[in-house]
Amino acid sequence: MERLHKAMGWETRGGKRYYYRARKVKGRVVKEYVGTGLVGEVAGAVDGACRAERAAVRERRRAERSTLHGLDGAVDRFDRAVEALAWASLVAGGYHRHHRGEWRRRRDD
């Protein structure tokens, strides 16, 4: 499986700068030459913008997970409160749990 453009960056050889990207091909990292000068600058800017967008998406997802985690706790507390209220109402109404299973009305013996 091939991943798209993970930035590798600039390399300098003989006083000249070359822009490369790294990508994975079948589990191995392969350097891909992109260009020098303006072509390299544009490719670097595009790669930087893509990295920034991916980071923003990761942050939004993290924030959403955090919000949902907080809501899960509130729902759990609400569920326990409703269950306790139902339990108390059934007991007050003369019911009991038969062998820790279904609720049954107590017989008046």
Question: Domain residue spans in the chain?
Answer: 6-95
Q: What is the pLDDT of residue 98?
A: 85
Q: Among 60-69, 86-95, 98-107, whose mean pLDDT is lowest?
A: 98-107
Whether 7 has a pLDDT exceeding 70, the answer reads no
Using pLDDT thresholds of 50, 70 and 90, give the confidence band for residue 5.
very low
The confidence score (pLDDT) of residue 100 equals 80
% of residues, the chain, pLDDT over 70: 92
Task: Give the pLDDT confidence score for residue 109 in this predicted structure.
Answer: 58
Q: What is the predicted pLDDT for the residue at 99?
A: 84
- Dihedral sign of CA atoms 17, 21, 26, 29 in order: positive
Using CA atoms, how far residue 7 sits from 2, 12, 22, 88, 97, in Å, is: 14, 16, 6, 62, 63
